Amino acid sequence: MKNIFLVGLPSSGKSTLGKRLARELGYRFVDTDKLIIREEGRSISDIFRDNGEPYFRLVESRVLHTIKQGESLVVATGGGMPCFHDNMSYIKQMGLSVFLDVSPEVILERMHHHRADDRPLNRLDDPGLLENLRQKYTDRRPFYIQADIHVSGNADTATVLEKIGHHL
């Protein structure tokens, strides 16, 4: 069975939707950020603080490359993962990619609602956070739109299952 990779900005719903999809499909759910934390033995924030973003992106790519074709996984990727080290090409080789397209305004609302303050590149106390999210959306969208399937961020599990059904 094909792996399914969910791509999009942080707080676009990759983990929430990914868990539901995995349950419905009888797949295993994997969050690449959790794999990185396990491999490194420290938080994403600590990795950024101690070693910087370039090091994090290398670890992120290394973790991605441990995923092989046909493992029946639903993978929630980190928001920037598709944009570095030709990771989007690897994602497309290893399975079906789905872009969860959510506006920066909705992302900001979700971050505040869930108190998602563990993201080193998106601090809730940053007065420029919305502008930062808008810029990330603009910069990352060319990578995200390479995904096999494009869905609105408010799509429910049934809608996404219907869209991916033809590809599995």
Q: What is the pLDDT of residue 134?
A: 97
Distance, in Å, from the CA atom of 93 to the CA atom of 115, rounded to the nearest integer, reads 34
Whole-number percent of the chain with pLDDT over 90? 76
Residue pLDDT, tens place only, 33-63: 999 999 999 999 999 999 999 999 999 999 9
Q: How confident is the model at residue 117, as a pLDDT?
A: 47
Residues of the chain with pLDDT under 70: 115-123
pLDDT at 116: 53
Which SS3 state, helix, strand or coil, does residue 8 take? Answer: coil
> Quick check: 3 and 163 in contact, CB under 8 A?
no
Residue 140: partners with Cβ closer than 8 Å, 6 or more residues away = 9, 79, 80, 82, 83
Could you tell me the domains of the chain? 3-157 (3.40.50.300)
The predicted pLDDT at position 62 comes to 98
| pTM of the model as a whole | 0.93
pLDDT of residue 118: 56
Give the helix ranges, DSSP H, for the chain.
Answer: 14-25, 32-40, 44-64, 87-94, 104-113, 129-144, 157-165
By the 10 Å C-beta count (0-12 exposed, 13-18 middle, 19+ buried), 5 is classed as buried
Angle, helices 44-64 vs 87-94, to 10°: value is 50
pLDDT at 125: 75
State the Cα–Cα distance between residues 95 and 90, nearest whole angstrom.
Answer: 9
Strands 3-7 and 28-31: unpaired
